[in-house]
A and B are shown apart, each in its own frame.
Chain A
Amino acid sequence: MAKQGATVDKDTPVLECKDLSISYYTRAGEIPAVVDFNLKVMPGEAVGIVGESGCGKSTVALAIMQYMGKNGAIVGGELKFMGRDMRTMSEEELRNIRGSRISMVYQEPMASLNPSMLIREQLNEVLIYHEGISDEEATRRSIEMLDAVRLPDPERVMDSYPHQISGGQQQRVVIAMALLSNPQLLLLDEPTTALDVTVEAGVVELIKDISKRFGTSMIYISHNLGLILETCDKIAVMYSGEAVEFGTVKQVFDEMRHPYTRGLFNSIPLPGADRHARPLVPIRGQLPLPHERPRGCNFGPRCDHFRDGLCNVHELHMEPVKGQSGQSVRCVRYQDIDWDKAKPKAVEAETIEFGPTVLQVKNMQKYYEVNDGSIGALLTGKTTRYVKANEKLDFEAREAETVAIVGESGCGKSTFAKVMMGLETATGGEVILNGKEIGNLPVNKRSPQLVGSLQMVFQNPFETLNPSHSVGSQIARVLRKFGVAKDKEEARQKVLELLDLVKLPRDFARRRPRQLSGGQKQRVGIARAFGGEAAVVVADEPVSALDVSVQAAVTGLLTDIQRKRRTTLLFISHDLSVVRYLADRVVVMYLGQIMEQGNTEDIFSPPYHPYTEALLSAVPIADTSIEKKHIVLEGDLPSPMNPPSGCPFQTRCPRKIGAICEQQMPPLKEFGNGHRILCHLDDDVLTSMEPVIAMPGDKAKRGKASAKPATAPSSGRAKAAAAAAALAAMPAPVKEKARPAATPARKKAVAPARKPAAAKKAAAKPAGPVRLKKPESKADDLKLISGVGPKLEQTLNKLGFWHFSQIARWTKKDIAIVDDELSFKGRIERDNWLKQAKALAKKSGR
């Protein structure tokens, strides 16, 4: 692809890999990790490398850094940095290049910072070593850079140790460190994987900006297609050590040619659709081991379009795609495959009758006691403090229902799971399972039947099974323990049946966990959880550690079994797009409190809690046609030991009204159908919110077609599909740089927006800010001010504001008048509006 990738740009590429092959030497001999890899990165360009674990994407990064350890080596091809072959460089030269002209950002920020050194020393070191400047000069530049990566209070950060700042801040420091010496190339290896979604959104925002502001070329390695879409210009898809597709982001996302790329896209949930409109299709089989790769196409054995005698004859090469300059693909059949036929068909929404309420959580509360022995604590007499893990949980779950509990780390969702399981007991409130109080019943006091009816699927596939015992014996133990199987023979038989249920071969019973892949282990974990006639299964992020193509298979399996057995599933997750696919109801948690709960379709359409809104906008979406609002939360999650007063979300809320948020716990607002929001915002403010995710028209057809059969009245899922279709069917004029334009498809008549009233008021009050009847020249796009959406723009226009300069001239008094007219009390920081409007006005020359 290097050949046809030659563009009009005459400059030398920053980095060029030509037929690069990398091998590792191990006990088993030479293992080819990367074969014939081609890549060209031009100045200022951002290239994404995407692929599942074990595809060789990190090896490429390490090869570029020339840092492969003693058992790895480049065995063929060229690796040119700024036109010079890095393979011929001496250690000395490489040392000078690393960290100054090529820098790297790793996945785990805490592991890339030295915990015993001040951040000041670590940052200055880079400059002092590479540029030989004085300490004061280095400090000045470091502070500038910390400011540039948008760290609040850079001086304080400089004098901190890494553990004193949060994970998101740490990653910003690492990025600042990488940018300090103004490198030509920045390698980012999954830089946000270890961060929470809302924090991730902020770091991604920053990364997007880097190439624009610093002119740095980037290679962004990730398994997340959505992140690549947000940050990169070009993308290379890797599979089993080879690049299988390369092109611009638009080409690959809109017109993917390789079956593997297609498979990847089909296996990830998109927030714009639910599981009926667009069912997830996992890629069958698993990644071949590097020394067991098949002949011909590596993807052949897993490919639905495999042709014997064509795909497995000779090694394939990257071919330029006809009619698409710059796009290339490693597939012999890419022109023959009829993708329309192969597209996943929308499935009919099956109607699920939910049974009676199985689980009731009433005002459940869990505090952990912390003994503080410090002198300060002794002096004030406050030696015991409380970690308020769960403050007041209140929700129900019915039979056969899937309830998702969503929230970031530290929101108390795992604590809740522990109380459910009896590993902890509740401090207050009740947890009632089938009419029996279990919140204060530790697991050793529960009857085997009760224990068996309440089981759990764990997060980490590598820890969920005991490595010392065979798979079969671990499942059998559960069966015997719960009294499902009476004797050995019966247990053996049941184990085999359970393996069938989770679609694993029967001979896996004799295997040890280390002989299983991550997805297979998770299947065994599911078999174990459903072994004892479970009434409620709690799944704690069961797929977050798995590769995307496997995730689809495992979530599909989990919900299939759950529905077949009419089990209630509590699905704990931080990923809203997965939740949309499988949940009937959603509970959004923040700092031990439920911020919002309701049916899935209500959660995913306005009104939102401001936190839900931020969460929704933070999920990266791998679809070029979807427009989404960008809301980046400021600050970090407060500690549950010392939660903020009033509303727990007030410290980060972009829609904070004012003092009331800091002083009072917000009221719980009912929006019908069990949809509840804990917020101080007025009802009409909440109901007039715009949807975060807007879908274009062509999607709507598909959604509508699939949703047609879904009219069964009692089905929550069917309603979700219908709502999605309705939402999608709205005509959506997608403007350039437009924010979501689709009007919210709200049908609940809770509180109509007070737009007309506001307009009337505007006409009645002549005093105040400068207004124009209509623009003399072309009106400015007011939506460029962050915080103004299409709806607000309309309102502003109606009030007579058309230009940035008008807004920039607002006085405090004017703001008050406008606020009054908008009837959105303190909805957004107006001062910030002014600043932005001033800058925009200057830019546009008005």
Chain B
Amino acid sequence: MSDVTAETAAPAPPTGLKRLWKSIGLLRESYVGMFGAVLVCFWVFIAVFVDLLPLQDPLAQTRGAQMLPMLTADAKDVMHWMGTDDRGRDMLARLMYGARVVLFWSVLATVVAYSIGMIMGVTAGYRGGWWDEIISFIGNVFLAFPQIVLLLVIITAFGPSSQLGIWMTNELGLDKTLVSGSLIIIAITFSTAPQVARIVRGIVLDLKTRDYIAAAEVRGESPLYIMLVELLPNARGPLIVDACLRLGYVIITIALLGFLSLGLPPPDPDWGKMISDGRQWGYNGLNMMLWPALAISSLVLGLNLLADGLREISLRD
């Protein structure tokens, strides 16, 4: 019985970069996912390297060159590929810099919302009992509130034009963008974290019945260790897919806030605000609305397709 020979060796495990490359290779098999990935990568590339691109100043207003249609040059013979807005600013430059603004705040908001949602979900799921009841109840209260109303209430009550906002900018000397940005993050966290918590809780409820969790408990691991090291890494698959989708929703939400003029303060380019600027001009502002609208939809579409592709792959294995 004891002379068991070593079982045949499997190929050596791929590590680090190789594994990443392999995952990308897997994504190639899903055309939908690949298309989404290309769209997302395009916007991420723009957002990161926008400073290096030969663009005009997105804030520079050119007198006499307001609301130019696309592919026209102004009096100084500067080409405006996408035309200009109502203050004579180059649309292309604003759009590209807008990508940085949108991606920065949306990714930050998603990360914050996700972290809080994961903490809520993993503790509720693993600990259970009264803690679960409390977390779930709080989550349900926020989910029962119409999302738009929730956002409006939070931002109007604490936004830059509120008493608190004015106090913060004037007395504390905080940057206006920072104040509005943080507020956006808080607002999005309130509306998104409960949803994330719900998903994480569901996954954890399933995972915690596994033997390796019992094994960890049996060797006396602390709950924190079990949650962070044993549970969360195994929930990453579905969470990555969900995070892609969630990021898309957050981008739409930020654009919506911008459109309602509750978003980031001018003059920073913000796609939602850009659409809203164009809307004032009715039919004449079509060019001003078209590009940011296309940008938002392409980025969100890209994220959704990427999520679809990732899900497809994860199901196939």
Contact = CB atoms under 8 A, between A and B. Distances in A.
Interface in A510-542: 510-512, 515-517, 519-520, 525, 528, 532
A469 interface: yes
B1 A451 contact: no
Contacts of B315: none
A467 B7 contact: no
A760 interface: no
A285 B220 contact: no
Contact of A556 (B1, B6, B215, B233): B1
A286 B5 CA distance: 11
Nearest to A420: B218
A284 to B, nearest CB: 5
B217 A443 contact: yes
A466 B7 contact: no
Given A460-B211, A467-B234, A468-B234, A423 B12 contact: no
A516 B233 CA distance: 19
A455 B218 contact: yes
B214 interface: yes
Contact of A463 (B7, B8, B212, B218): B212
B2 A285 contact: no
A76 interface: no
Contacts of A455: 218-219
Contacts of B10: 511, 515-516
Contacts of B13: 470, 510-512, 515
Q: Could you say which interface size class chain B belongs to?
A: 20 to 34
A517 B211 contact: no
B9 interface: yes
A507 interface: yes
A87 interface: no
B230 interface: yes
Given A459-B211, A512-B13, A478 B219 contact: yes
A466 B219 contact: no
A370 B88 CA distance: 72
Given A444-B220, A468-B233, A468-B234, A286 B8 contact: yes
Interface string B189-232: 00000000000000000000011101111111110000001100
B268 interface: no
B263 to A, nearest CB: 38
Interface string A49-82: 0000000000000000000000000000000000
A285 B230 contact: no
Nearest to B233: A468
Interface residues of A, number: 56
Given A463-B210, A481-B219, A510-B13, A281 B1 contact: yes
B4 interface: yes
Contact of A504 (B6, B218, B230): B6
A421 B212 contact: no
A27 interface: yes
A505 B4 CA distance: 12
Given A282-B1, A282-B4, A451 B211 contact: no
Interface of A: 27, 275, 279-282, 284-286, 301, 421-423, 443-444, 446, 448, 451-452, 455-456, 458-460, 463-470, 477-478, 481-482, 503-505, 507, 510-512, 515-517, 519-520, 525, 528, 532, 552-553, 556-557, 560
**A-B residue pairs, 8 tightest by C-beta:** A556-B1, A468-B233, A458-B211, A463-B211, A466-B212, A463-B210, A451-B220, A464-B211
Interface of B: 1-2, 4-10, 12-13, 29, 210-212, 214-222, 229-230, 233-234, 236, 316
11 contacts: A281-B1, A285-B5, A286-B8, A466-B216, A468-B236, A481-B219, A510-B12, A519-B7, A553-B1, A556-B2, A556-B4
